[in-house]
Amino acid sequence: MIDARRLERVATIAVGEGPHGVRFSADGGRAHVAVARAGRVVVIDTGTRQVVREIAVSGSPFWIGVPRS
């Protein structure tokens, strides 16, 4: 995890092998990470910097889209 203002790493969050695409929720409270080699999407709470959900998907996800709502 990077602090965008200081451009410094503030945390490392293990999500599995092959993380690729990252998209944030509209409010910035969640980061959704496509984990290609694991075949899943991981949801991270950006405030606590914890994985809060893992979603199994078919194939190897590289990019991810998150609705605005």
> Is 64 domain-assigned?
no
Q: How high is the pLDDT of residue 3? A: 84
Does the reported pTM lie above 0.75?
yes
Classify residue 69: in a domain, yes or no: no
Number of domains in the chain: 1
63 occurs within a structural domain: no
Q: Report the pLDDT averaged over residues 44-60.
A: 93
Range of the domain at 19: 2-56
In a domain, 6, yes or no: yes
Q: Does 42 fall in a domain?
A: yes
**What is the Cα Rg of the chain in Å?**
12
pLDDT at 14 exceeding the cut of 80: yes
Mean pLDDT of the region 23-49: 93
Note whether residue 49 is domain-resident: yes
- Chain centroid to Cα 59, Å, comes to 17
